[in-house]
Amino acid sequence: MITITINDREIKLEKPVSVLEAARSAGIKIPTLCYHEQLERYGGCRLCLVEVEKMPRLQTACTLMVADGMVVRTETEQIADVRRGILEFLLINHPLDCPYCDKAGECDLQDLVEKYGPGKGRFKEKKRKVPESLQDPVIVRNMDRCIMCTRCVRMCEGLQGASAIAVINRGGHSHIEPFSSGRFDCEYCGNCVSVCPVGAIMSRLHRHSYRPWQVKEQYETVCPYCGVGCTVVTQVRDDVIKRVIPKLGSTVNNGMLCSRGRFGYEFVGSKDRLSVPLIRKNGALAEATWEEAITLVAKKLGNIKSTYGSDAVAGMASPRCTNEDNYVLQKFLRVAVGTNNVDTTARTGFAGAQSFIENIFGQGATANIISGLANSDTVMVIGGDPTTVNPILGLQIRACARRGGQVMTVGEFEGLRIFSPTKLLPRQFTETFLLEGIVTALREKKGLSGANAPLEGKIKSINVTAADVAAKSGVSEKQLAAYVDLLAAATTFSIVIGKETVQSIGGSYKLLLLAAITYLANGRVYLLSEKANEQGALDMGCAPDMLPGYRPVAYPEFTKKYGAVWHAELSEKPGLNLFEMIEAAEKGTLRAMYVMGENPVCNIPNSGRVEKAFKNLDFLIVQDIFLTETAKLADVVLPALGWGEKDGTFTNMERRIQRVKKSVQREGMEDWKIVAEIAKNMGYRMDYTKAEEVFHEIAKVSPLYRDLSYEDIEKGENIYPYKGEPLRDVKEDIQIDTSAVSAAAGKLYLKVERPLFHSGTMSTHAASLMNIYPHAVARIGAGRAKMLSLTEGDVVTVRSKAGALSLFIAIEKAGDDLSVTISNNFESKGAFRLADYTLDQVTKAPCIDAVEISIEKVTA
């Protein structure tokens, strides 16, 4: 116990902290500027100087650690003078443009000057002048307001790990540069904006439309983009979200955000939003009333059901919609229509991988705390760049590296490059051999404990020598041995698996090998999750074979139980998965589809095929917030309220249930409400009046969410296994798909880009993200480009068996010569147009890593 005295008050401290932290813990305020609780200590601004007995000089409270018996004074006349003096220094070159500055009202400098003075300046010399810069797509800089606290730089280097900015020059000439201009690794996270204490770095999105005191409401909610589920705060004025900011101390992201989370909110108020129902009349979509639309849908579905049977109808739920929405949709299909034909695009990767891993390690095996990555001593990454797919999770891996942990990858991930991961780069399509080699060597090193018999059975059957690995994959025996040594030395091991692995040929076998590595290294698994509520949609039973809480439909005890709560008789026949739905639509056995909050024509591989299949349906209902490619094909389009406009919950990849809150008022209905209305019209009552009531029902039926309430969630009882018991340890026989391909010389293959600045197609309705990444491009390695005489900006036709796209070329200096990388974020220009696939027989994920393509320059 350390006892110190501050301003005659005794303060007792458990562990050594800085004098500043000690003072704050006792409610004593010491002004600061360069200090920020998230950042490394700096001690540069000198505002926090205090008197300490027995020390001749004044000391900075932010850097001085407490020592037993220390006597500190923070409010003497000398100290007041010092503060005034420092503030005067900070103002001499400051433009004093507060009336014009968006920061006014929440500016630390303004507040401090108001409190300590000086009332007037004595500076009669020329001021430094720096013009306002609008060079960045999302940030506006007024660098003559900068006070050189370097908080932005310490944020960018130390926490974000982008190192896109630095202090340039020195002394009075120092300034912060270069931000983006595209050239300097800027990730546009805007975390520098969060920590800038003055108006030097601000978001461009609310320039001159934001005044802190005019913000009447703010809501703590969850980011709509990826499966990390960051806490964001929406700040609203006149029913418009003016700004989205992170919250210090929030559990998942503790004050950090990525570019999507911070700047991607503009889709909410977008002009392109659907506002009235549309009904296809004479081949064209025309505006209709809600009543018309709902009765039409109810009638049509009723007819199809009675003519062709319930299973002629299918529904697609949404990883963008809330748990409540998804729950109601699957219930609607199961009770009002009477089919288990429900699935989501989580099927394209996350769902299958999760059930595969859970089958080996038990339910909840992938529900690991994201911050655990930073505390791991070894993190292995495969199948996707976590810093772009799940950026805030990516930061945890960077933090692991910074703390001296081992980061190891299979493959090259740009976002981890400067963290110098230990990496293995196997030749194309030889990853499996490499992983087999790792498993073999690791098993020899670590032995088997006998804890997991089915898995050990598989592990024992794997025998690939290092020499074999070297011959096939090009990874040398030495490299492999070094890698395995690191794995064997790990004490807290984590493995991060991205979709590229799941969506590759032999994906389930690779997952088995990765599970084996995890098992041998005694680690835990993280599955990258692209959309905000993939986990939730699965938890809600948006799967053809599972009821909410992963109760198999094929077990009568469960269908009976759920049927009793739902007052309906449930089908015990597993429904069609996503891909089977498409096949059935092609064949004509599926007659109608209800697509909620999803854009399958873009988001399912081989989009052309999906489009054709959908056109073959008798009746297509699309419920969305935008007129997507899929919606354009619909017979009825139902406009829903979107994120920011409705209440509910999301469940993130850690299986943390979090509240999504309504921030702005908009006319219309929530997804669940629309579905409930249709159900009512079909004669099945769903009388929920608000999302919370839906959640009550979820908490009643799903063992996973048992007895939870919104209150519990707010209190933080929101992380798996919640109040309910974890489900049984499903250990069925481990099935694998060992399909394989080999690379054909000279061929080009398609690679799907998962960019930092986009997510699905929703982000393309956010103007700022579009400014950063405006249109689809085909990225090609410099070597290949040269071979094909392509230069940056050329237009090419990229062709595969499945389709063709015309795209601009972007040349990647470090890109390989075997692939062309295209994102799947731009409607009608998505990589999935080209992505013909086969299905992994176990995970049912589409394998899209062997799509051969050709590229051809379009001559002007």
Partner 1 sequence: METILLKNIQNPNSADIAEYKKAGGYASIRKALGMEPQQVIDEVKKAGLRGRGGAGFPVAMKWTFASADPKFPKYLLCNADEGEPGTFKDRPILEKNPHLLIEGMIISGHALKAEYGYIYLRGEYPAAKHILNAAIQQAYDTNLLGENILGKGITFHLAVHQGAGAYICGEETALIESLEGDKGQPRIKPPFPVNVGVFSKPTVVNNVETLSNLPYIIEVGGETYAKIGTPDCPGPKIFCISGHVEKPGIYELPMGTKLRDIIYTHCGGIKGGKKLKAVIPGGISTPVLPPDKIDCPMDFVNMPKHGSMLGSGAVIVMDESVCLVKVCHRALKFFEHESCGKCTPCREGTGWLRAILGRIENGEGMEGDIDTMLAVSANMLGKTFCPLGDGAASVVQNFIKHFRPEFEEHIRAKKCVVNG
Partner 2 sequence: MFSSAAKQEIEDIRTKYPNARAALLPTIYVAQREFGWLSSEAYDAVADLLNVPKATVRGVATFYAMYKQKPMGRHLIQLCTNVSCMILGAERLVDFLKITYGVEPGGVSPDGRFSLVIMECIGACGTAPAMLVNDDFHDNLTEKKLQEILEKYT
Q: Which is nearer to ligand FES, 60 or 221 (CB)?
A: 60
Using H for helix, E for strand and C for coil, what is the string for 30-70? Answer: CCCCCCCCCCCCCCCCCCCEEEECCCCCCEECCCCECCCCC
**86 interacts with, out of partner 1, ligand FES, partner 2, none, CB within 5 to 8 A per kind:** partner 1
Q: Site for partner 1 (CB under 8 A): which residue of 26, 85, 492, 788? A: 85
Q: Which is nearer to partner 2, 166 or 568 (CB)?
A: 166
Q: Which is nearer to ligand FES, 62 or 321 (CB)?
A: 62
**Is residue 183 within the footprint of partner 1 (CB under 8 A)?**
no
Q: Cβ neighbours of residue 747 under 8 Å, at least 6 residues apart?
A: 818, 852
Q: Cβ neighbours of residue 301 under 8 Å, at least 6 residues apart?
A: 313, 336, 337, 592, 594, 619, 621, 678, 682
**Beta carbons of 496 and 416 less than 8 angstroms apart:** no
Site string for partner 1, 136-175 (x = CB under 8 A): -----------xx------------------x-xxxxxx-
**32 interacts with, out of ligand FES, partner 1, partner 2, none, CB within 5 to 8 A per kind:** ligand FES
Question: Least Å distance between CB 147 and ligand FES?
Answer: 10
| Tally of residues, the chain | 860
Chain residues that interact with partner 2, rule: CB under 8 A: 153, 157, 162-170, 177-178, 183-185, 417-418, 420
**Is residue 585 within the footprint of ligand FES (CB under 6 A)?**
no
Interface with ligand FES: number of residues (CB under 6 A): 12
Residue in the block written with tokens 């096939």:
472
**185 interacts with, out of partner 1, partner 2, ligand FES, none, CB within 5 to 8 A per kind:** partner 2
**Is residue 178 within the footprint of partner 1 (CB under 8 A)?**
no
Site string for ligand FES, 6-35 (x = CB under 6 A): --------------------------xxxx
Question: Least Å distance between CB 774 and partner 1?
Answer: 36
Question: Least Å distance between CB 31 and ligand FES?
Answer: 8
Question: Least Å distance between CB 165 and partner 2?
Answer: 5
Q: Which is nearer to partner 1, 32 or 473 (CB)?
A: 32
**Is residue 341 within the footprint of ligand FES (CB under 6 A)?**
no
**How far is the CA of 465 from the CAs of 215, 355, 469, 506, in angstroms?**
64, 30, 6, 20
10/366 Cα distance (integer angstroms): 47
Nearest to 317 by CA among 610, 830, 758, 675: 675
Q: Which is nearer to ligand FES, 43 or 269 (CB)?
A: 43
**271 interacts with, out of ligand FES, partner 2, partner 1, none, CB within 5 to 8 A per kind:** none
**Is residue 134 within the footprint of partner 1 (CB under 8 A)?**
no
**Beta carbons of 245 and 194 less than 8 angstroms apart:** yes
**How far is the CA of 601 from the CAs of 150, 388, 562, 576, 761, in angstroms?**
47, 24, 33, 18, 11
Question: Least Å distance between CB 401 and ligand FES?
Answer: 28
Question: Least Å distance between CB 166 and partner 2?
Answer: 3
Q: Which strand ranges, in their side-by-side order, compose the sheet holding 9-13?
A: 9-13, 2-6, 71-73, 49-52, 59-60
Strands 619-624 and 592-596: parallel
Site string for partner 1, 328-367 (x = CB under 8 A): ----------------------------------------
**Is residue 715 within the footprint of partner 1 (CB under 8 A)?**
no
Q: Which is nearer to partner 2, 89 or 184 (CB)?
A: 184
Encoded tokens for 463: 């025998």
Nearest to 321 by CA among 827, 675, 711, 688: 675
Question: Least Å distance between CB 199 and partner 1?
Answer: 18
Q: Which is nearer to ligand FES, 50 or 401 (CB)?
A: 50
CB atoms within 10 A of CB 679: 22
Q: CA angle 95-96-99, nearest 5°?
A: 120
User: In this structure, what DSSP letter does residue 717 have?
Assistant: -
**Is residue 62 within the footprint of ligand FES (CB under 6 A)?**
yes
Buried b / exposed e along 712-745 (16+ C-beta atoms within 10 A) = bbeeeebbbebebeebeeeeeebebbebeeeeee
> What stretches of 172-230 adopt beta strand conformation (E)?
175-177, 201-203, 217-222
Q: Site for ligand FES (CB under 6 A): which residue of 7, 24, 38, 44? A: 44
Interface with partner 1: number of residues (CB under 8 A): 34
Question: Least Å distance between CB 418 and partner 1?
Answer: 14
Q: Cβ neighbours of residue 225 under 8 Å, at least 6 residues apart?
A: 258, 260, 261, 264, 531, 532, 759, 762, 763
Q: Site for partner 1 (CB under 8 A): which residue of 32, 93, 253, 259? A: 93
Q: Which is nearer to partner 1, 33 or 346 (CB)?
A: 33
Site string for partner 1, 25-54 (x = CB under 8 A): ----------------xxxxxxx-x-----
Question: Least Å distance between CB 163 and partner 2?
Answer: 3
CB atoms within 10 A of CB 790: 19
**Is residue 46 within the footprint of ligand FES (CB under 6 A)?**
yes
Q: Which is nearer to partner 1, 167 or 471 (CB)?
A: 167
Query: What is the phi/psi pair of residue 810, to 5°?
Result: -125, 130
Encoded tokens for 538: 């699965």
Encoded tokens for 781: 């390695």
**57 interacts with, out of partner 2, ligand FES, partner 1, none, CB within 5 to 8 A per kind:** partner 1
**35 interacts with, out of partner 1, ligand FES, partner 2, none, CB within 5 to 8 A per kind:** ligand FES
**Beta carbons of 492 and 375 less than 8 angstroms apart:** yes
Query: What is the phi/psi pair of residue 7, to 5°?
Result: 45, 50
Q: Taking phi first (over 0 means left), then psi (-120 to 50 degrees means alpha), and beta for anything else, what does residue 150 get?
A: left
Q: Site for ligand FES (CB under 6 A): which residue of 7, 43, 71, 73? A: 43
User: In this structure, what DSSP letter does residue 845 have?
Assistant: P
Encoded tokens for 157: 């280097």
**Is residue 109 within the footprint of partner 1 (CB under 8 A)?**
no
96/110 Cα distance (integer angstroms): 9
Binding site for partner 1 (CB under 8 A): 41-47, 49, 57-58, 63, 65, 82, 85-86, 88-90, 92-93, 122-126, 147-148, 167, 169-174
Rule CB under 6 A: which residues touch ligand FES? 32-35, 43-48, 60, 62
